[in-house]
Structures are given as C-alpha cells and as structure tokens.
Amino acid sequence: MDRTLLLLINREWTNPVLDWVMAIFTNASLWMPFIAIGAVLLLWKGDFRVRSFVVVALLSVAFTDGVFTQSMKKLIHRPRPHEALAEVREVSLQNAKPEILALVRPLRIALSKPPSGTVEGRSFPSGHTMNNTIVATLAILFFGRKGAFYIIPAAIVSYSRIYCGVHWPSDVFVSIILGVGFALLIAGLAAVLYRSVARRFWPDLYVAHPSLVGASAP
C-alpha cells in the first residue's frame, strides 16, 4: 500500500505546474529567510498572544527537529523512496545562491537508479512534515479558526515530500500524528510553566494575561 500510493503520487498524479509548486514548497532553504524575517517582525510588533505563539513554536520546532527527528532518523535508518526504488521521480529546484535565483532556472527532474550498496537512510520521520504540523497545531491553539488557515501550506509541504520522492506516504502520515502530539505536549508544558513563573515574578503580566494559550483577560 505504501509503495502503491507513493508511485501514484510521485509518478501518476503529476503535471508541470504541480512540479513547480511542489518543488517550491518542499525547499526549506528557499523559505528560511522569509520565515526568519517574519519571526523577528512578529516578536517585535506582535502582541502578547503573537509573541507567545512565536516563542513556543520556535522552541517546539528546535526540540523536535534538532533532537527527536535527527535521533529517530539515525535509529530507524529507513531509506528514502528514491534510494530504495528505481524510477522514482526526484523533483527539486536547481542549486543557486541565493536560493531565490533557482526560481528562474529549469527544475531538476530525474529518475532514481536501482539501489546498490549500503544506504544511510533518513526517511523517517519527515522533519518538514513534523515542523509544519507543529506550527499549524499551535496556530490553532493560539488563534483558533484564523490559525487553522496554516493547515493549507502545512498540507502542501507534507504532500510535496511524497510528490518529490523524498518520503514514503507512511513517513508523512505518522509524522503528522507525531507533530500534533508534540505540539499539544509542549504547548501544555509551556502553559503550566508560564502560569507558575508569571504568577510569581510578573504578577501584573499574569493579571493581564492569565493564560498563555487561549483568550486573554480583557
């Protein structure tokens, strides 16, 4: 089932427009400068709720991506589709410095070759999927229905990992579940820590904002 769905998404349900969309959404390096600038602006200009969201999101992604995801990749050691199968479409932007220049160059599309030798598998979990799922979940927790709009780019990024041949569908599916779980866990821990610390050291802040997640006091 995993292989069948992979090949449908990666080789059958494709077209040139989707190739470009998926290659752009799957390229984290392309988006990183915009994400960094956006985070700085939100921390600078945002209100308490926005700043709290950014801090919790950054801490969550830093832990899961830097510790959990990397550890699991080494432990499970699962080959990526293009490493395990022949003729998987590998879709990506061209290398460019700065990355944005890749948008004016032809896409790099190749078919994987039959596997040979030992492969250092890093397919599970999908860091892109987990990171974006965490942000989407936290956005809903902090901003409700408005935050739910982030589900759209998160879903596209997750789908792009299968489309571009770098993750199995099961990698993405399980990573979504893990992302939601980590987001809920870390948000809960952050809320408990905030109440404990703010109540003791910043009582005025606590009176104005008794809850880290949810509606603030008027």
How high is the pLDDT of residue 114? Answer: 87
Alpha-carbon gap, residue 140 to 79, rounded angstroms: 33
- What are 73-96's pLDDT values in tens digits? 999 999 999 999 999 999 999 998
Which H or E run contains 191?
A: helix 169-201
Q: Which amino acid would we find at residue 202?
A: W
- Phi and psi for 82 in degrees, rounded to 5? -75, -10
Angle at 178 between CA 172 and CA 180, to 5 degrees: 105
Q: Give the three-state DSSP class for 101.
A: helix
Alpha-carbon gap, residue 160 to 107, rounded angstroms: 14
Q: Give the three-state DSSP class for 109.
A: strand
How high is the pLDDT of residue 213? Answer: 85
How high is the pLDDT of residue 214? Answer: 67
How high is the pLDDT of residue 115? Answer: 84
Q: Which residues in the chain land under pLDDT 50? A: 216-218
State pTM to two decimals: 0.93
Alpha-carbon gap, residue 190 to 83, rounded angstroms: 39
How high is the pLDDT of residue 118? Answer: 74
DSSP labels, 110-168: EEPPPP-S------SS-HHHHHHHHHHHHHHHHHTTTGGGGHHHHHHHHHHHHHTTSS-
- What are 181-195's pLDDT values in tens digits? 999 999 999 999 999
- Encoding tokens for residue 35? 């994400």
